[in-house]
Amino acid sequence: MKYIELVKIYEELEKNPSKIKKAEIIADFIKKQTDKDIQIVMMLVQGIVFPKFYGYELGIALQMMMKAISKSTGYDIKDIEEEFKSSGDLGNVVEKLTESRKQSLLVKKELELENVFDNLKQLAFIEGSGTQEKKLNLISELISSASPKEAKYVVRTILGDLRVGVAEGIIRDAIAKAFLDDSKDAKDAVEYAMNIYPDFGEIAIIAKKNGINGLKKMKIKIGQPVQVMLGEKVESVDEIIQKFGKIAAEFKYDGMRAQIHKDGEKIWIYTRRLENVTKQFPDLVKLCKECIKVKKCVVEGEVVGIDKKGQPMPFQTLSQRIQRKYDIEKMVKEIPIQINLFDVLVVEDEQVLDKPLLERRKILKEIVKEIPNKFVIARQIVTDSAKEIERFYKESIDSKQEGLFLKVIESKYVFGRRVGGWYKLKPTMETLDLAIIGALWGTGKRTGWMGSFILGCRDEKTGKFLECGMLGTGVKEKKSQENDVTFKELTEILKPLVISEKGGQVKIKPKVVISVDYQEIQKSPNYESGFALRFPRFISLRSDKSVEDVDSIERIKYLYKIQKKSKNK
């Protein structure tokens, strides 16, 4: 198949804002393709070349992409920068410059889909001496061989900014439409399979060959992560007790969600975002081998950093280990960990998702040998007493944890969010998890860095991010402690995500999530959300969370109402 055929689909998707229409476009296209091409298309239509749990990154920043465009078109980098400032999209820039290309190959062949895909994958594996030059050459060769429209989407794919609006829900509906039907049962079967095994190309093939029953029979595969069950936010204990009666209250730990897979001596550790962090936690791998008594299992827990006195460290400290690629043993010594296990999904060859919560906890206790302060079962009480839960809640907060999970004792393990069964109880004036959606370049001591950051909350109805404040406090100019985050570090993280730049203001692709403290929430006509955080302060980078976890505008409205009531008392 020619790559240009997929490019035509990209253009259709970009022109059609309707989610239903997008699903139809993809469904009609994949129905006509071979199995191999279906698997490639299901990746590229999302703008990715690997399933997210693989953990591979193409590692191409804007500056390198500009060099590749310069090399393949003959235009000066300054010209490319000017075009980028006005359009905010290097895809559009390369399309325009390629149309009036100054340099071209003498012999030009049409791009094959498989060759483009293979070349994109190669970018993740180029290493050693001359890595940057090799990547630069590979990208510029692809652009040189491409038509203007093909070059546009090659560049966007490499930068992880495809801009065709295809989310997982659209992929689910497209697979159902193409190979099953448009019923709720078909969509539910696809969604279940996507949660069990987040490789949508494989799922499309199973749907094509084995139908709904084939999808429903899929089981968790040891070593491949599944989407985790998430809790809904709740405002009071009483409403949960009134609805469910006796419930299980568990500490909500301030740490990293860990999904642990064990198969004999092989251990895999994944975050809630399905990132493989096994190498970063050799101490946890060792504990799992010592303390899990069965050969095969999938268990879940929360990893927290602990200090020399056995007290929990803030997540910001632990986050240094999550991102660390070198000096691992040094970090193990400096930031020891404790895991608090709270669920089990698989034991030996049995999937236990459908067993009630308390039965799963009983199984968990049977398969684990606890080591105090190192490898333990999460703290839990089962009661219908609001007073008892309030006391337990205070104990969690006093222990420097986030609050409680309130869990329905008969609940099954259900993938995803807003599924019922688990509820989060946190302080009313809690920190907020927000996305950085823009920045201003600094002046004075902060010259050369982004000096203040525009915060965005999430509109769940539209998927948009709405401005709700500007932050410049809490980020450090110099490191005084190991877990400090500096303006320089944050600038380096955000630079590859710059969408456009005008004057001293930068628009940033929402990808980086941070925890933010604040004095109060105010109504404000200056921000799209209608609210502004007063004196927001940076607390931590939340590398364990995705933008889907960012707090919503509804949450901010609710906190504003609570704050107003408390002021009027």
Q: Supply the pLDDT for residue 431.
A: 87
Q: State whether 419 and 530 are in the same domain.
A: no
The whole domain housing 263 covers: 238-425
Residue 83 has pLDDT above 90, yes or no: no
Residue 106 has pLDDT above 80, yes or no: no
Q: State whether 291 and 414 are in the same domain.
A: yes
Q: Hey, is 385 helix, strand or coil?
A: coil
Q: Supply the pLDDT for residue 567.
A: 60
Catalytic residue among 135, 252, 262, 545: 252
Q: Supply the pLDDT for residue 357.
A: 97
Q: Supply the pLDDT for residue 528.
A: 93
Q: What CATH number is attached to the domain comprising 277?
A: 3.30.470.30
Q: Supply the pLDDT for residue 428.
A: 64
Residue 481 has pLDDT above 80, yes or no: no
290 or 400: whose pLDDT is higher?
290
Q: What CATH number is attached to the domain comprising 79?
A: 1.10.3260.10
* Count of domains forming the chain: 3
464: which 2 tokens? 């948009």
The residue type at 200: F
Instruction: Please tell me the least confidently modeled range out of 48-57, 85-94, 102-111, 512-521.
Output: 102-111
Residue 176 has pLDDT above 80, yes or no: yes
Q: What CATH number is attached to the domain comprising 442?
A: 2.40.50.140
Q: Supply the pLDDT for residue 568.
A: 61
369 is annotated as an active-site residue: no
Residue 492 has pLDDT above 60, yes or no: yes
Grade residue 105 by pLDDT with cuts at 50, 70 and 90.
Answer: very low
Q: State whether 512 and 539 are in the same domain.
A: yes
For residues 6-20, average pLDDT: 95
- Last residue of one domain, picked from the residues 371, 403, 425: 425
Q: State whether 484 and 347 are in the same domain.
A: no
- Last residue of one domain, picked from the residues 425, 458, 492: 425
Nearest to 150 by CA among 7, 2, 1: 7
Rounded mean pLDDT of the chain? 91
Q: Hey, is 94 helix, strand or coil?
A: helix
Q: Supply the pLDDT for residue 569.
A: 53
- Last residue of one domain, picked from the residues 375, 396, 425: 425
Q: State whether 249 and 330 are in the same domain.
A: yes
Share of the chain above pLDDT 90, in %: 68
Does any domain span residue 193? no
Does any domain span residue 137? yes
Q: State whether 395 and 443 are in the same domain.
A: no
Does any domain span residue 120? yes
Residue 155 has pLDDT above 90, yes or no: yes
Q: State whether 416 and 510 are in the same domain.
A: no
pLDDT digits (tens, 9 = 90+) for 400-449: 898 999 999 999 999 876 678 999 988 766 789 999 999 999 888 888 89
Exposed e or buried b for every residue in 465-497, given b needs 16+ CB within 10 A?
bbbbbbbbebbeeeeeeebebebbebbebbebb
Does any domain span residue 289? yes
Does any domain span residue 460? yes
Exposed e or buried b for every residue in 275-293, given b needs 16+ CB within 10 A?
bbbbebbebbbebbeebbe
Q: State whether 279 and 360 are in the same domain.
A: yes
For residues 514-520, average pLDDT: 91
Q: State whether 458 and 319 are in the same domain.
A: no
**From CA 569, how far away is CA 565, in angstroms rounded?**
7
Nearest to 250 by CA among 402, 417, 370: 402
Does any domain span residue 341? yes
For residues 381-404, average pLDDT: 93
Instruction: Please tell me the least confidently modeled range out of 26-35, 150-159, 437-446, 448-457.
Output: 437-446
pTM of this structure: 0.82
Q: State whether 284 and 398 are in the same domain.
A: yes
Q: State whether 246 and 338 are in the same domain.
A: yes
**From CA 192, how far away is CA 201, in angstroms rounded?**
15
Does any domain span residue 165? no
Instruction: Please tell me the least confidently modeled range out of 300-304, 446-450, 497-501.
Output: 497-501
Does any domain span residue 196? no
Q: State whether 421 and 440 are in the same domain.
A: no
The answer to whether 27 and 178 are in contact (CB under 8 A) is yes
Q: Supply the pLDDT for residue 107.
A: 46
**From CA 357, how far away is CA 465, in angstroms rounded?**
35
pLDDT digits (tens, 9 = 90+) for 40-65: 999 999 999 998 788 788 878 888 99
Share of the chain above pLDDT 70, in %: 97
Grade residue 557 by pLDDT with cuts at 50, 70 and 90.
Answer: very high
Of the chain, the end-to-end C-alpha distance in Å amounts to: 69
